[in-house]
Amino acid sequence: MPKRLVLTNGVHGTQMDPPEIWKDRLAWMDHWLRGVDGGFGTLSQKRTSVVTLLEMHRQGGVLASNGRKVSRTFPLEDTRWTSWYLHGDGSLSTTPPRRKNRPATSPAPAASPGATSWGRRRARP
């Protein structure tokens, strides 16, 4: 069976997914298990299908998306890779930290009694 990926910011429990996701799952399973043409292609095409449901929200008491983006690959074809940096003041930006603000080494974790600098317990004499 070809690969299928559905991305959403919806709920964590699959038993509570919005109807939009259930309909998508049903169409996928019907296509591949029951032979109902859902437009997902054929096994020989080896197609990957990715659906991204945009920003889930409540609409009439039911979770619904603001839209959907359909793709044949993951990462998505129009993905723009962006480096983000966490700065010492807790801010997040696309600007790399200045050299003087970069720590020379990572801070060592607080040692507990009987622990070595790398966190393993020393044998007792």
Domain boundaries, the chain: 1-101
Q: What pLDDT sits at residue 93?
A: 94
Please answer whether residues 48 and 73 qualify as being in contact, where contact means their C-beta atoms are separated by less than 8 angstroms.
yes
Encode 91-119 in three state secondary structure. CEECCCCCHHHCCCCCCCCCCCCCECCCC
pLDDT tens string 63-81: 778 888 888 888 888 889 9
Q: In terms of residues, how long is the chain?
A: 125
Phi/psi of residue 69, nearest 5 degrees = -125, 125
Q: How many CB atoms lie within 10 A of CB 24?
A: 20
What is this structure's pTM? 0.48
